[in-house]
């Protein structure tokens, strides 16, 4: 049987992969306020992106269910595919992908600064 500390930490890591990922990034960056803010913003973007993906997935799940079990009249088919909210969430995803890309570039620059600022031993 694994030690209790390992048994407890493994499920908590699986429960919040975004937090684990951003904490790992934070450890790779210099201990500065701008790095902390960047990691916090990235975490928010990742969570929002995952939420948007969930909304898009739910939309497609609903469509599949309608096609499998719902009425297949012309009106029901058009109505099931006419979801303005999913289009908005796709726009959100597009913006978030660009924002995450920008934040990761900023993190790379901070990491590069951190590596070049360290004394050579």
What is the tally of structural domains in the chain? 1
pTM: 0.78
* Burial class (CB within 10 angstroms; exposed 0-12, middle 13-18, buried 19+) of 96: buried
Structure tokens at 57: 């997935």
Summarised one tens digit per residue, pLDDT across range 79-102 is 888 899 999 999 999 999 999 999
Q: How far, in Å, CA of 20 to CA of 9, rounded?
A: 11
Summarised one tens digit per residue, pLDDT across range 14-73 is 689 999 999 999 999 999 999 999 999 999 999 999 999 999 999 999 999 989 997 799
The better pLDDT of the pair 9, 108 is held by 108
The residue segments making up the domain with residue 26 are: 4-117
Q: Are 83 and 59 in contact (CB under 8 A)?
A: yes
């Amino acid at each position: 049987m694994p030690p209790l500390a390992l048994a407890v930490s493994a499920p908590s890591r699986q429960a919040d992969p975004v937090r684990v990922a951003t904490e790992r990034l934070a450890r790779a960056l210099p201990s500065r306020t701008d790095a902390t803010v960047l990691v916090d913003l990235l975490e928010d973007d990742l969570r929002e992106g995952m939420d948007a993906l969930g909304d898009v997935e739910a939309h497609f799940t609903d469509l599949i269910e309608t096609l499998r079990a719902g009425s297949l009249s012309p009106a029901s088919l058009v109505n099931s595919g006419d979801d303005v909210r999913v289009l908005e969430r796709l726009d959100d995803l597009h913006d978030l992908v660009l924002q995450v890309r920008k934040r990761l570039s900023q993190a790379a620059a901070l990491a590069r600064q951190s590596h070049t600022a360290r004394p050579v031993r």
